[in-house]
Amino acid sequence: MMKPLILQVSTDIQLELINRHHAEALFSCIDANRAHLGQFLPWVEHMKSVADVMAYIQSCEQLQEEDKEISFVIIHQNKLVGRIGLHHIQTANRNGAIGYWLAKTAVGKGIMLNSCKKILDHGFGVMGLNRIEIKAATENRRSQAIPEKLNFVKEGILRQAELVNNKFLDLVLYAMLREDWTN
């Protein structure tokens, strides 16, 4: 059982370490945003029930125990509106990658930008990482705006790197080094 961890982003935004009690709210958020999320995220079509989300959460908990991932749900004004986390953590190389998504109704309010700042603080500060990446589909300008606003370095394009809706998408690779991070 993971200990509760809450990262306070602002007075109305908090990141809660993902837990089994989030399963129903997380499924409801995904289900209400299928068209919005499904454009760029390959896993959306596989989340067909609360049980599917529960299995995903259990996988997250296992990866967290192995120090390979840390996943949070995003709570805005006491409502679950998305997910963010550090994935693909390599402790030997002290790097990881931020992954995130947000409900359509929560987009454009600074929620994700500020949540990413908090994750960067946690990753570079608490976890001692040296490099954090963000990947976004070349067609997903909203997702690319986050690392660009945070002054990540655009390192290149990963050609046909992700299969979504039976179509290979190119991904933009962004990276931030600890020495470059100033919140």
**Residue-wise pLDDT tens for the chain (183 aa)?**
445 689 999 999 999 999 999 999 999 999 999 999 989 988 999 999 999 999 999 999 999 999 999 999 999 999 999 999 999 999 999 999 999 999 999 999 999 999 999 999 999 999 999 999 999 999 999 999 999 999 999 999 999 999 998 999 999 999 999 999 986
Relative to beta strand 131-137, strand 153-164 is unpaired
Task: Report pLDDT for 4.
Answer: 61
Hunting for tokens 């995220």 — which residue is that?
Answer: 41
Task: Report pLDDT for 1.
Answer: 40
Query: Could you tell me which of 135, 140, 134 has the C-alpha nearest to residue 161?
Result: 135
Backbone phi and psi for residue 90, each to the nearest 5 degrees, phi listed first: -115, 100
**E-strand stretches of 5-130:** 6-8, 13-17, 70-76, 79-90, 95-102
Query: Could you tell me which of 88, 91, 113 has the C-alpha nearest to residue 102?
Result: 113
DSSP 126: I
Q: How far apart are CA 46 and CA 148, in angstroms?
A: 30
21 is written with which tokens?
Answer: 């009690």
Give the three-class secondary structure for 68: coil
Query: What ranges in 33-65 are assigned the alpha helix state H?
Result: 34-38, 50-65
Structural contact between residues 55 and 40, judged by C-beta atoms closer than 8 angstroms:
no
DSSP 86: E
Can you state the percent helix, strand and coil of the chain, rounding each to 5?
A: 35, 35, 25
Domains of the chain, first to last: 6-131 (3.40.630.30)
